Structure 1
Amino acid sequence: MVSQNNCYACARSTGTRFSHLREEEHKAVNKLRSKIRGAIVGAALGDAWGAPVEKLTHDEIKRLYGKIDSLNFEHYIKRSKTHGKGYGRVTDDTLMTLVLCDVYKELKTHLDAYAVFPLIKKIYFEEIWIPEYQKAMPLIERLFYPEKYIFLSNYLASKDPRSAGVGNMVNCGAAMYMTPVGVVNAGDPHRAYNEAIAFASSHQSSYGLEAAGVFAACVAAAFIPNITSMEIVKTAHDLAKDGTKMAIGEIISAAELVKPGDDVVKTFHEVLAKYSPVGDDLRRESENVGAPTEKYIPSRLKSIEELPIALGYIYLYGEDFYKALIEGVNSGRDTDSIGTMIGAILGCLHGVEVISKNDIETLKKANKYDFLKIADDFYSVVKDIHASDEKYFQQVKAVRDKLSIEGERHA
């Protein structure tokens, strides 16, 4: 017979154990929220960091600025404290990311190509604040032409969204806003890859589509407990296909050989020259109209530049958030998208605590967006989707368990 005192002791012991479990669960929840905050705020920070020098070469950045080592820089053409790029203002990379968060909030589930239609409603029929223009307007009016193609191909031309990205200029335009896909698929890079490919097929094709899948996978991998920045890059390489896989593989090999004092920018750009013919020529001059080119056309042998470059700096400096971000942005060319990718992946890996409170406040004031609140709202959406996932996985498991039992009976 168990004494009453022993019962009380047992109850106290159980209560302590349950309290410990609740504490661990609370820490896990806080860690998830911190990583989601880190991904969303980090993406915005990287975008704003690279915005003033987008399209400049590494040498031009050095000549004009020395080094972009804070948000407090003006744009190299439009030198304005309030308008255009610079001083912490984000670009379309971030605004498309926020709209995609809203699509998840509306649908409350995973996305496929048909989720492009609520996206189109948001970018064309709704107005949002555009920090560069300092006014509210439909986002489509700010987008670059390949992103406007979403509206043209899926809505005006009424293509099947699963192939509507075919015919677009192949670029990083879909990859740049895939952070939310990685967040929703936290800890599951394979599913993040597949979901991003399915959704972004309405926008991109070929290696532009591939980059969207791989970037989303990297963000999802950054949620895995105790994963390292190098392991995230290797996950990207494992999942990538064709030219994207080859480019990431060569960037990893080059990064492993880097020694103090080496010209990392030159090394990485030499690798990417095999896979991206764009190089330093990001400005579209009138004399180039009609000139034959292999830029931005579909190919199984090519890769966008932004993702492998971002992964290269993550591989080298991934344990130091700001070092990776600063070096990546100062490498030049498509600096805001490179910054977005580094910021999202490493912000998620290390959690929002790695980002300076001053930078978070600067982003809020410069853009009139509270990125922490946006991330917290998205955290609630993600938790609901994860709960639905768990219910679905349990249903599938129950069916398979039953099939296994019945199979054994009749064996």
Structure 2
Amino acid sequence: MTPTLEDRAAGCLVGAAVGDALGGPVEGWSPDRIVERHGGRIHGIVGPWYEDWRTARPIAPYHKGDGHVTDDTLMTHALVRVYETVRDHLDAYAVADHLVPDLMSTPRWIPELETEALPLQRIFLAEKWIVARLHYGHVDPREAGAGNIVNCGAAMYAAPVGIVNAGNPAGAYAEALDIAGAHQSSYGREAAGVFAAAVAAACAPGASVGSVVDTALSLAKDGTRAAIEAVVEVAAGHRDFESALVPLRAAVAPYDSVGPDYRAPSLGARRPSRLHSIEELPIALGMLLVAGGDYASSVLGAVNYGRDCDSIATMAGAIAGALAGESAIPPAWSKQVAEASRLDLQAPAAALAAVAREVFARDVSRRRAHEAAFAALAGAS
């Protein structure tokens, strides 16, 4: 049966959270180091890289592993709450008016800290940027992203934009670019738009991984498009993530400014450029192609790829979940992540689907008003 909007929203957001939790404990490491640490490839939820995670560097004091979601999910759920408040399309001003206060003012359970705290105290410096620029700097929200590190920070939580614009990839692309303008510039902002569009395309009845990738390529610009093309070409020759790990990295490497050592970025890393792309989105699409859209295989491919694998798995999980619905996600994984993270993973999805229905009704009304106005104008001419 074709998944409903509600089912696709649940598949998308639960799928993203589960992918995030699976990738968190091995984020930043290479495939070889992951095999060395875990005695082979990862096939499910694992514990933290260091047992003394409270003091171990470079990741202290975060308990990454054991089913804990990371900042990718925290930011995704925060954006859902903004949609719940506004109940319409969002723009950069919504980030300033609603997202920043949410991050600064309301303590929430932070799984990696194992305590209640302000989300601001957990999110990465690239996300704290929006607080510094919008709350303290009073920068125009549409321009606040300029000057920030160019990474996947805005893209990693753009999935809700795709659900609100389900079936309308071009609308999702434009809305995500507007929202991301408060956070990012250059190819980081572009990735947010393309990822949101991919989620929206995955929600269309009859969608497939191929149609999602085609949509992404039709909208992507500059280095982002080139990187996706390169990864897609390589992914076509693989049907198992094991054989695809090294070739996919080689395909995206010319466009990724970070360099071969993820923990020691190159001097030119993460600077604005029309030639580069973030690594995470093309690899997520590549893993989806290799896996034929299968949720578990896509996410496990992303996790075992290493590097920024929590965000790669977040994106792959969101798209695979939107394509097939929540039933595609192994129930044992989603149950363990929800319990370990102390989060209701279904509630944000249900809330977002309700908002999407309201927004669509408003869009229909606005479109009809436009049609009537244009018809009167055209008739008068």
TM-score range, shorter chain: over 0.9
Match of 2:367 among 390, 393, 397: 393
Distance 2:268 2:145 in 1: 18
Contact between 2:105 and 2:118, CA under 8 Å: does it hold in 1?
yes
Structure 1 stretches of at least 4 aligned residues deviating more than 6 Å after TM superposition = 80-83, 259-262
Distance 1:269 1:107 in 2: 40
- The equivalent of 2:333 in structure 1 is 359
- The equivalent of 1:98 in structure 2 is 77
Q: 1:215 to 1:361 in 2, by over 3 A?
A: same
CA deviation vs aligned residue, 1:99-126 (integer Å, no higher than 9, x gap): 0000011111101110112100000111
- The equivalent of 2:89 in structure 1 is 110
Q: 1:78 to 1:178 in 2, by over 3 A?
A: farther
Match of 1:308 among 245, 258, 282: 282
Distance 2:205 2:189 in 1: 28
Q: What SS class does the counterpart of residue 263 from structure 1 fall into?
A: helix
Mapping of 1:376-391 within 5 angstroms? 376-391=350-365
Q: What SS class does the counterpart of residue 136 from structure 1 fall into?
A: strand
Match of 2:201 among 221, 225, 250: 221
Mapping of 1:4-403 within 5 angstroms? 31-65=4-38, 66-71=40-45, 73-78=46-51, 84-117=63-96, 118-258=98-238, 263-284=243-264, 293-403=267-377
Q: 1:208 to 1:394 in 2, by over 3 A?
A: same
- More deviation in 192-201 or 319-328? 319-328
Distance 1:46 1:349 in 2: 15
Matched letter for residue 13 of structure 2? I
CA deviation vs aligned residue, 1:183-233 (integer Å, no higher than 9, x gap): 100000001000000011000000010100000000000111101101101
- The equivalent of 2:57 in structure 1 is none
Distance 1:321 1:390 in 2: 33
CA deviation vs aligned residue, 1:18-53 (integer Å, no higher than 9, x gap): xxxxxxxxx87x611100000110010110010110
- The equivalent of 1:19 in structure 2 is none
Distance 2:257 2:158 in 1: 24
Q: Displacement of 1:68 after TM fit?
A: 1.4
Distance 2:347 2:212 in 1: 27
- In structure 2, the gaps of 5 or more residues are 55-60
Matched letter for residue 6 of structure 2? R
Q: Displacement of 1:406 after TM fit?
A: 3.4
Q: 1:264 to 1:143 in 2, by over 3 A?
A: same
Q: What SS class does the counterpart of residue 116 from structure 2 fall into?
A: strand
Aligned length: 373
Q: TM-score, normalised by structure 1?
A: 0.87
Contact between 1:280 and 1:333, CA under 8 Å: does it hold in 2?
no
CA deviation vs aligned residue, 1:322-380 (integer Å, no higher than 9, x gap): 11111121011001000100000010000011112222211221111111122112222
- The equivalent of 1:20 in structure 2 is none
Matched letter for residue 33 of structure 1? E
Q: Displacement of 1:389 after TM fit?
A: 1.3
Q: Displacement of 1:146 after TM fit?
A: 0.8
Contact between 1:318 and 1:346, CA under 8 Å: does it hold in 2?
no
Q: 1:222 to 1:210 in 2, by over 3 A?
A: same
Distance 2:199 2:366 in 1: 23
- In structure 1, the gaps of 5 or more residues are 1-26
Q: 1:267 to 1:47 in 2, by over 3 A?
A: same
Q: 1:279 to 1:106 in 2, by over 3 A?
A: same
Q: What SS class does the counterpart of residue 347 from structure 1 fall into?
A: helix
Q: Displacement of 1:293 after TM fit?
A: 1.0
Distance 1:342 1:94 in 2: 14
- The equivalent of 1:15 in structure 2 is none
Q: 1:215 to 1:160 in 2, by over 3 A?
A: same
Q: Displacement of 1:263 after TM fit?
A: 3.2
Q: Displacement of 1:260 after TM fit?
A: 6.9
Distance 2:330 2:131 in 1: 37
Contact between 2:164 and 2:352, CA under 8 Å: does it hold in 1?
no
The percentage of counterpart residues that share the same residue type is 41
Q: 1:342 to 1:261 in 2, by over 3 A?
A: closer
Q: 1:108 to 1:260 in 2, by over 3 A?
A: closer
Q: Displacement of 1:79 after TM fit?
A: 5.4
Matched letter for residue 159 of structure 2? T
Distance 1:315 1:181 in 2: 23
Contact between 2:90 and 2:175, CA under 8 Å: does it hold in 1?
yes
